[in-house]
Amino acid sequence: MQSKSWYALYLALLSLLLGLGDCRGANILVLFPHASESHFAVMRTLVAELASREHNLTVYSGHGLNDNLERVVEHVVRPEFDFWSNLQEQAAPGGSLEDLALLSERKLRSSLASVGARAVEHFLVQAPVQKLLELSTAEFDYDLIIVDYFYTEALLALGYKHNKPTIGVISTDFGNYMNAVQEALLPVACSPIDYEAYTKDLGFSARLSNIRECMARRKQFYNEHYTAQEKIIRKHFKIAVNIPELQAHHLALLLLNNHVPLWTPRPLLPQIVPAGGLHIRGPRELMWNVKRFVEESKNGVIYIQLGNEQPCGQLPQPKLQILFDFMSARKARFIWTCHDVKTLQGLPKNVLIQHSVPQIDILAHPHVRAFIMNGDLLSLQEGITRHVPMLGLPNFRNERKNMQLAVDLGVALQLEPSNFTTAALNWALDELTKQQHFQLTIREVSSEFRDRPLGALANALFWVNYVVRHRGGAAIRTRGIDIASNHLHLFDLFVFYFGVAITVCAVLIAIYFGVFYAMQRKRNDAKLAKLS
């Protein structure tokens, strides 16, 4: 009897912990315009988990779930929009990915704004989505909308139109983009996001250039990105509303896929939920051919995935040759994930190209010794969680930043593009596989990354359910998101106090000279009187 009541109490506590307490099933609409496989990994886990907890989901995405889930209705929106090749055409016409990576931040932001808008537009004009847009509020039977939040703010208009809360999922802690979202909420002096080498005593000139940079960046974001998204809203939703207003009133939650120690600590509002690693579920059995390839390898397996922006078929020939020379001379076997090709000309015998096994499952296999990657944050989290030391070959600034962090944590090595040679690759891989400390450190870092009151996914689910339960999360929404920069950073108050100070000084000076003058005159009068 007693043990039964203990058991009930235990169950109640457990369900409370898992955020299941008073869990109401909801109809959730998921909009996922980007076809990027890595962003999609986040959504796939979230959707599967929400479906297993009594929610009904309808997913519109540019990428199939490849999973037959109960309570999930899927509309694959084809054709896919190739974000990276569009970006490359826009920003570095005729150039390579390396040229794109060398672009100035300002130019890259500009191109992202315009290609981002094109991606959303491409999504919205497809037939299934058009049908969704035509629904009247009475027919729009969803309680909550979840969107991939990456140059897709126009989608907030759907929630606005039907008065439903929207949750944004930021799959990667993409540097510039996050800045602009967060700066709307934090004074720049508290925001260490952009200070790569953050120190607590920033000098006057550092702070001056930070604030200038921050204001310029924000202005550019408003002028280019928000303007492009607002244009889409006017065209497809027939509503005139600006993005900051939409964010302030309809963005219930931002799920951020990062967590310490993979980012710098920063002040957060309850509305911003760090759920880093939320895409990482328990490992599953590998597909038979991949499994056999891994298990038959006597000298371990090295896993390679060079990022969504770098299709294997488009690797420059010299780079490909270096990789082939390097791989063919090693005893280990290699698994290379390519989403674009099934085979490559001249591929060494010890390399298997695969495109359908999730890398979290491959990385979970004990034979996998190292992970050669581009510094993508999601991959980095996976490598750490699965205790596989990494070799980074980063291209972009955000990738280099992630990689540097991993190197500083002692779980990875990175090669500069200029150091991309067979000898350097061999050296780095030998270090990673032979030096014991990488294995030991990565276990510590992994445990630190996962050490939280609730796991990443459980935390994300708790907050999604919170929004469902409590008026669309109205109480946790910040009022500050659409504050103008000069108000947020109190510039107008500085000007006011400066004016007051000048006035007080002027009055004091006037009084001083007035008194001085009066006394002078009195003295002169007295002198004159004496003379006469």
Ligand X SMILES: *[C@@H]1O[C@H](CO)[C@@H](O)[C@H](O)[C@H]1NC(C)=O
The tokens for 266 are 């920063």
State the minimum distance, in angstroms, from the CB of residue 461 to ligand X. 16
HSE value, Cβ hemisphere, 13 Å, CA-based, for 468: 27
From 89-97, 196-204, 411-419, 493-501, span contacting ligand X (CB under 6 A): 411-419
From 195-203, 355-363, 368-376, 422-430, span contacting ligand X (CB under 6 A): 422-430
State the minimum distance, in angstroms, from the CB of residue 71 to ligand X. 6
- Pick between residue 188 and residue 323 the one whose CB is nearest to ligand X: 323
Q: How many residues lie near ligand X (CB under 6 A)?
A: 10
The tokens for 309 are 């922006």
3-state secondary structure 3-42: HHHHHHHHHHHHHHHCCCCCCCCCEEEEEECCCCHHHHHH
State the minimum distance, in angstroms, from the CB of residue 424 to ligand X. 3
Q: How far is residue 236's CA from residue 154's CA, in Å, rounded to a whole number? A: 9
- Pick between residue 23 and residue 269 the one whose CB is nearest to ligand X: 23
- Residue 423 touching ligand X (CB under 6 A): yes
State the minimum distance, in angstroms, from the CB of residue 431 to ligand X. 9
Interactions with ligand X, residue window 18-37 (CB under 6 A):
25-27
State the minimum distance, in angstroms, from the CB of residue 171 to ligand X. 26
Running DSSP on this structure, what letter comes out for residue 224?
I
Residues with Cβ within 8 Å of residue 303, at least 6 apart in sequence:
334, 335, 336, 337, 359, 362, 363, 368, 370, 371, 372, 388
- Pick between residue 227 and residue 422 the one whose CB is nearest to ligand X: 422
- Pick between residue 344 and residue 407 the one whose CB is nearest to ligand X: 407
- Pick between residue 222 and residue 427 the one whose CB is nearest to ligand X: 427
Helix 422-434, helix 317-328: angle, nearest 10: 40
State the minimum distance, in angstroms, from the CB of residue 374 to ligand X. 15
- Pick between residue 26 and residue 77 the one whose CB is nearest to ligand X: 26
State the minimum distance, in angstroms, from the CB of residue 373 to ligand X. 15
Which of 163, 73, 179, 110 is closest to 398 using CA atoms?
A: 179
- Pick between residue 293 and residue 371 the one whose CB is nearest to ligand X: 371
Three-state DSSP state, 153? helix
- Residue 58 touching ligand X (CB under 6 A): no
- Pick between residue 423 and residue 526 the one whose CB is nearest to ligand X: 423
Asked if 45 and 67 touch (Cβ cutoff 8 Å), the reply is no
- Out of 272, 415, 442, 445, point to the residue binding ligand X (CB under 6 A): 415
Q: What are phi and psi of 101, to 5 degrees?
A: -70, -25
From 83-91, 98-106, 188-196, 412-420, span contacting ligand X (CB under 6 A): 412-420
Query: Which residue type, as a one-letter code, is found at position 412?
Result: A
- Residue 427 touching ligand X (CB under 6 A): yes
Q: What are phi and psi of 213, to 5 degrees?
A: -60, -45
Running DSSP on this structure, what letter comes out for residue 470?
T
- Pick between residue 427 and residue 491 the one whose CB is nearest to ligand X: 427
- Residue 56 touching ligand X (CB under 6 A): yes
Which of 381, 433, 427 is closest to 406 using CA atoms?
A: 381
For the chain, count helices (H), then strands (E). Answer: 21, 13
- Out of 424, 476, 483, 488, point to the residue binding ligand X (CB under 6 A): 424
Residues with Cβ within 8 Å of residue 61, at least 6 apart in sequence:
30, 31, 32, 33, 35, 40, 43, 74, 75, 76, 77
Which of 307, 413, 286 is closest to 361 using CA atoms?
A: 286
The length of the chain in residues reads 532
State the minimum distance, in angstroms, from the CB of residue 54 to ligand X. 7
- Out of 296, 408, 416, 451, point to the residue binding ligand X (CB under 6 A): 416
- Residue 215 touching ligand X (CB under 6 A): no
Classify burial at 300, counting beta carbons within 10 Å of its beta carbon; exposed 0-12, middle 13-18, buried 19 or more: middle
State the minimum distance, in angstroms, from the CB of residue 436 to ligand X. 19
State the minimum distance, in angstroms, from the CB of residue 278 to ligand X. 23
State the minimum distance, in angstroms, from the CB of residue 24 to ligand X. 8
Q: Say if residue 79 is preceded by a cis peptide, omega within 30 of 0.
A: yes
- Pick between residue 358 and residue 473 the one whose CB is nearest to ligand X: 473
From 91-99, 235-243, 270-278, 413-421, span contacting ligand X (CB under 6 A): 413-421
State the minimum distance, in angstroms, from the CB of residue 192 to ligand X. 26
- Pick between residue 137 and residue 343 the one whose CB is nearest to ligand X: 137
The residue ranges that bind ligand X (CB under 6 A) are 25-27, 56, 415-416, 419, 423-424, 427
